[in-house]
Amino acid sequence: MSSLASDSPYAVELNQVSKIYPGTPPVEALSEVSISVPRGELLGIVGASGSGKSTLLHLVGTLTRPTAGSVFIDGLDTSGLSDGALSGIRSRNVGFVFQDFFLLPGVTATENVGNGLLYSGTPERERKRRAEAMLERVGLSHRLAHLPNEMSGGEQQRVAIARALVHDPSFILADEPTGNLDSQNTASLMELMVSLNHDGATVILITHDPEVAEMCARQITLKDGRIEFDSSTVPGNAHD
């Protein structure tokens, strides 16, 4: 695992984070949210549409900056870092999975997964080797040379998960990864997520599906940009 400040027990910490989108009127998508995500956690985030889930994920993934508060990744305060430095952090420490997979068309599964290593300057041969190993890990060793349009939705999302994990990030962020899958594919994808988490991966996952949320060890419910419920603070369910 690539660590920025390895003495921190948390993969991610949000400290009083707010996000206001300018406009008339301005939208406060997140309001003074504090969350600590220890390494190895499987965290499910639920909430109504517009409650700020995606905003939260983008902030954690350094794709956007908070209006107030700070985001720590592996113990490193990311506020004030340049765009280039944030990109560097994403290339090593963050893995993204999206509802729409976002695989590059016309490019094989192996190359798509290898792109997870592209911007860390990994040579092509090593990208290929590690991509193939990761595809095998997600159960797609028979789809290495397949193009996205030759694969089912469930398979495409597994490729996307392999891409998010191939560079051994500190955590993976999944925004409704099962949103485009049927119940059967959802179940097997979540099985994969749980198994990856068992192997040590830290996962933060947004979902609308109560069954998916059930499978997460910790759940947070957002409402109007605030934490309405956090299972880790419920007595008898506490983490630390």
Ligand X SMILES: Nc1ncnc2c1ncn2[C@@H]1O[C@H](COP(=O)(O)OP(=O)(O)OP(=O)(O)O)[C@@H](O)[C@H]1O
Q: Which is nearer to other proteins, 98 or 171 (CB)?
A: 98
106 binds, among other proteins, Mg ion, ligand X, none (CB under 5 to 8 A by kind): other proteins
As a whole number of angstroms, the distance between CA 129 and CA 104 comes to: 19
Give me the least distance between CB of 69 and ligand X, in Å please. Answer: 16
One-letter amino acid at 59 equals: L
Q: How far is the CB of 106 from other proteins (least distance, A)?
A: 3
Binder of residue 107, out of Mg ion, ligand X, other proteins, none (CB less than 5 to 8 A by kind): other proteins
CA trace torsion 90, 198, 177, 95 (10° rounding): 10
Q: Cα separation of 48 and 100, whole Å?
A: 19
Which of 24, 49, 82, 149 forms a contact with ligand X (CB under 6 A)?
49
Which contacts (CB < 8 Å, 24+ apart) does range 189-192 have? 189/154, 189/157, 189/158, 189/161, 190/215, 192/138, 192/139, 192/158, 192/161
Cβ closer to ligand X: 52 or 148?
52
Q: Report yes or no: 223 and 60 within 8 Å, Cβ to Cβ.
A: no
At its nearest, how many Å lie between ligand X and the CB of residue 154? Answer: 21
Contacting residue, 36, 54, 64, 180, with Mg ion by CB under 5 A: 54
C-alpha 133, offset from chain centre: 20
Q: What residue ranges bind ligand X (CB under 6 A)?
A: 21, 23, 27, 29, 47, 49-55
Q: What residue ranges bind Mg ion (CB under 5 A)?
A: 54
